[in-house]
């Protein structure tokens, strides 16, 4: 019997140990569950903060893009106004040159050059008297051949066009630099 008496004690002991193990395991599982909840809450908070940061960055990028688009639109408008200004200047210069060529062709206008009065080699004396429309009075002048006058007007026309184009380019570069 003594062996039988020991038996119940050892079963009891084993039962208590098993119950303690189950309780400890349940407590361990409960601890794991609590830690899982804490980590889930921390991860949710991090995800929320990251989402807010991304939203702020997206808004900042959209605002910067809008500002750049506004700058580009303003630049395009300035360049368009500048283009109109210089196109008008070029058109006006060409119109004036055309009028001048027409006046030269009809002999309504004559081009002349001032001669050096101290040059003894030139004996082509042209009267110094000028008409009412003359600019230089009292000097020796020579009338240019109308064909040469036309060529001179063509050269000045090309020069005027070049200067106007240069001014337009300079304005364009200045607008882009700002």
Residue 144 pLDDT class (50, 70, 90 cuts):
confident
Mean pLDDT of the chain: 81
**Least confident among 2-11, 38-47, 114-123:** 2-11
pLDDT, average across residues 85-95: 92
| pLDDT reported for residue 123 | 54
How far apart are alpha carbons 75 and 36 in whole angstroms? 58
pLDDT confidence of residue 120: 57
Residue 37 pLDDT more than 80? Answer: yes
Residue 143, beta-bridge partner list: 112
pLDDT at 5: 47
pLDDT at 88: 93
**What is the C-alpha separation between 115 and 140, in angstroms, rounded?**
5
Predicted local distance difference test score (pLDDT) of residue 22: 79
Q: What is the model's pLDDT at position 119?
A: 62
At 44, is the pLDDT very low, low, confident or very high (cuts 50, 70, 90)?
A: very high
Least confident of 94-103, 126-135, 148-157, 163-172: 126-135
Mean pLDDT of 144-170: 88
* Contact (Cβ atoms closer than 8 angstroms) between residue 85 and residue 116: no
* Sequential DSSP letters for 113-165: EE--TT-TT----------TT-SS-SS-EEEPPHHHHHHHHHHHHHHHHHHHH
The answer to whether residue 165 scores a pLDDT higher than 80 is yes
pLDDT reading at 1 higher than 50: no
pTM: 0.51
């Amino acid at each position: 019997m003594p062996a039988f008496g020991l038996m119940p004690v050892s079963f009891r002991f084993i039962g208590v140990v098993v119950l303690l193990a189950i309780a400890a395991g349940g407590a361990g599982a409960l601890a794991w569950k609590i830690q899982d909840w804490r980590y889930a809450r921390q991860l949710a908070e991090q995800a929320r903060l990251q989402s807010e940061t991304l939203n702020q960055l997206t808004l900042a990028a959209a605002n910067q893009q809008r500002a750049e688009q506004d700058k580009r639109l303003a630049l395009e408008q300035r360049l368009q106004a500048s283009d109109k200004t210089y196109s008008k200047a070029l058109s006006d210069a060409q119109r004036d040159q055309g009028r001048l060529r027409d006046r030269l062709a009809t002999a309504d206008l004559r081009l002349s050059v001032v001669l050096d009065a101290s040059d003894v080699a030139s004996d082509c004396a042209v009267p110094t008297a000028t008409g009412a429309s003359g600019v230089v009075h009292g000097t020796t002048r020579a009338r240019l051949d109308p064909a040469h006058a036309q060529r001179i007007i063509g050269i000045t026309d090309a020069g005027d066009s070049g200067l106007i184009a240069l001014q337009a380019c300079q304005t364009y570069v200045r607008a882009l630099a700002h």
